[in-house]
Chain A
Amino acid sequence: MGYRSTFAGIAGATTLAVIAAVAHAQEAPAAGTIVDGSLKGKTLTFVSYGGIYQDGQVAALKEFVDKSGVTLLNDGPTEIAKLQAQVESGNVTWDVVDTADLPPYVHCGKLFQKLDLTKIDVSHIPAGQVGECSVPAMNYGMVLMYKNDAYKDNPPKSWKDFFDTEKFPGIRAIDGSGDPIGALIEQGIIADGGSVENMTPADIDKGIAKIKALGPDTIFWKTGAESQQLAESGEADMVMMWTGRAMTAVKNGAAYTPVWQDWMVVMDQLTIPVGVKDTDAAYALINAYLGKQAQEILTEQTSYSPIHNEAQPKVDASVAAFLTNTPDRVKQGYQQNIKFWVANFDAASEKWTALMAGN
């Protein structure tokens, strides 16, 4: 009890100090700053993808809700069409939207506001992750999980093995939840012997053909819940999974092992739609979210890695096993060519849809 109140006292004092500092400076309030009672009577709707992820985000925002007095509503999953409709009709009910990594680049300025960086503090975010219309919501990975029984002494070690159906027979499960997975197509091109240095749209077909060649048994899971279920029930021999779901599956007893070589770096993005009723309140939410403490809570509740470089979450071994921000993991990670996929979004989407529909 005593410890807690001391802790709260320190936190309160820090906040006060920060507020005082902000009052004097013209720059953005430090990440994590929350002004007491500043949003009393206001309502913000936070939209994300549900599951342990959104639960963790809500937990990370709890201090923001308690202090600012805002009423936080949650919705999801994020659907860009719903957002488009809201923006076009001028009736935007989503205030802060957590999206996949491409949409803020594809629809920047049209659906998503260009961010005013004097209103949020992005100085602690990993290099190269702040977009014109977005800041990262967290970092995570798309990791290859293989079933221990299926490949006893000779487990797959890379995506190349994932695409090698002769040496590594078995059922594959792939993310079919929506947008094309650029990184997987790129890995397909590499496995096909091609290069992703100077990709052209024609290369998309090569990558897709490689995915198709995985065979008719390939499972395209539509939700994270489904991928988790696939691992827990042992239905697939290799599952391409989000690290958060992979961790939960292992916790629930799935006998699977992750392959970290070329794990696909993914981030969710935080965005503010064009036309929200109270832009400043939305900025306040994002700035609170980017804070060190909020990021620590987020990571402690999910397996997602913090996007605050000083965050030191206290996590147990099973969670730490799936964190992606350790120096080793950072080296092994594979980053898709965002520019290429944004430029070829329509073509990639059409080909991906055809793949999803079994054609």
Chain B
Amino acid sequence: MNQTIDTTTAGGSDPRPAGRAASEPRRWRLADYPSLLTVPAILLLIAAMAYPLLTIVLRSFSEPEWSLQNYVWFFSTPVNLTVLARTFSISAWVTIVCVIAAYPYAYLMTTVGPRMRLVLIMCVLVPFWVSGVVRTLAWVILLQDSGVINSTLKAIGFSSIRLIRTQTGVVIGMAQVLLPFMILPLYSVMRGIDLRLVQAARSLGARPALAFLQVYLPLSLPGVFAGAIIVFILSLGFYITPALLGGPRSTMLSTLVQSQVLSLLNWGRGGTMGVVLLVSTFVLLAVAAPLMRQRHKQASRS
């Protein structure tokens, strides 16, 4: 008896006698407008993302008074332009390093047996098993002059190299954090490539390198592209890693935003830098999105 009642309640029918008939049209309408289901998420995004970002945009124009002075200041101060350019160049380096490291790795993942593949996937996922901040500390331990890398170099007879507080160190640390974002999309694209196409090209007389360049590479490009865009965009906003691994010559825009707001109490200028970062991100996304779609179509056509 009890059980029957439980089932009907869990089944969602209204205990009130008139309930079913009354609620029928409402359900019908909800099914008609599935977009209503996204309303809670949209509201949350407005409260916790859109409104804060709008506040920052407004402050960049309004503090200390309504004008474009903060933007004029940003684009006429050499240090800002240097750091902006550096932010882009570090992001580009991180992306390049990620592509070079991830491409062979993802390829290997598609060609080995299931056991080995599990090991390779584990290696990609292990970095996520410790907290991100702890990982940056680990990079300090590895990269410092008396760190693991330099001790090893010295032990095998090489001279030590300066890694911590250099751009190289920042790129090494950032690329490690972002590598999974490159490997995973690449792997999912490569897994879908029919290797018989390459074999066919080879049986038609193409040398391995040529078969790779003309058949495999174009098919895998959508994965490269998707991964590269994600990595580049995430790099632009990096904050903790450059702050802890970098020196003055690897300061990125995020650090300047932080110091404007927290050290100098200058919300207007900090906001301006934030807006520049935000606009750069979305312009890149807008440019890349149609390109990615196009590549996808090409890949599926060929």
Contact = CB atoms under 8 A, between A and B. Distances in A.
A216 to B, nearest CB: 7
B145 A233 contact: yes
B248 A81 contact: no
Interface string A211-253: 0000011111010000001000111000000000000000000
Contacts of A179: 263
Contacts of A202: none
B144 A229 contact: yes
A82 interface: yes
Interface residues on A, range: 20 to 34
Interface residues of B, number: 25
B127 interface: no
Contacts, number: 64
Given A233-B144, A233-B145, A355 B248 contact: yes
Interface in A156-175: none
Interface in B80-94: 82-83
23 contacts: A81-B261, A81-B265, A84-B265, A176-B248, A217-B162, A219-B247, A220-B247, A222-B243, A233-B146, A235-B144, A235-B146, A235-B164, A349-B263, A353-B256, A356-B248, A356-B251, A356-B259, A357-B83, A357-B255, A358-B247, A358-B251, A359-B82, A359-B83
Contact of A358 (B146, B249, B265): B249
B165 interface: yes
Contacts of B287: none
A79 interface: yes
Nearest to B144: A233
Contact of B145 (A178, A235, A349): A235
A359 B78 contact: yes
A354 B263 contact: no
A240 B170 CA distance: 24
> Top 7 A-B pairs ranked by shortest CB distance?
A359-B79, A233-B146, A358-B248, A358-B249, A354-B79, A81-B262, A235-B145
Nearest to B249: A358
B144 A353 contact: no
Contacts of B256: 353, 357
Contacts of A28: none
Interface string A66-84: 0000000000000111101
Contact of B262 (A79, A218, A219, A220): A79
A358 B262 contact: no
Contacts of A353: 79, 256, 259, 263-264
Contact of A357 (B144, B162, B251, B263): B251
A358 B255 CA distance: 13
Nearest to A80: B265
Interface string B70-81: 000000011100
A220 B165 CA distance: 9
Contacts of B162: 217
A206 to B, nearest CB: 18
Contacts of B249: 216, 358
Interface in A47-92: 79-82, 84
Contacts of A81: 261-263, 265
A358 B78 CA distance: 11
Contacts of A222: 243
A176 B251 CA distance: 12
Contacts of A220: 247-248
Given A234-B146, A235-B146, A178 B263 contact: yes
Interface string B161-205: 010110000000000000000000000000000000000000000
Contacts of A359: 78-79, 82-83
A80 B145 contact: no
Contacts of B250: 358
Contacts of B261: 81
Interface string B254-290: 0110010111110000000000000000000000000
A227 to B, nearest CB: 13
Contacts of A176: 248
A240 B144 CA distance: 19
Contacts of A79: 262-263
Contacts of A84: 265
A80 B262 CA distance: 7
Contacts of A216: 249
Contacts of B77: 354
A352 to B, nearest CB: 10
B86 to A, nearest CB: 8
Contacts of B144: 229, 233, 235
Contacts of B251: 356-358
Nearest to A346: B264
B163 to A, nearest CB: 11
A355 B162 CA distance: 21
Chain A CB within 10 A, most for which of B248, B250, B262: B248
B154 to A, nearest CB: 13
A234 B147 CA distance: 11
A179 B263 CA distance: 7
A82 B79 contact: no
Contacts of B259: 178, 353, 356
A325 B82 CA distance: 44
Nearest to A217: B162
Interface string A170-198: 00000010110000000000000000000
B286 to A, nearest CB: 29
A218 B262 CA distance: 24
A358 B144 CA distance: 20
A358 B82 contact: yes
A358 B256 CA distance: 12
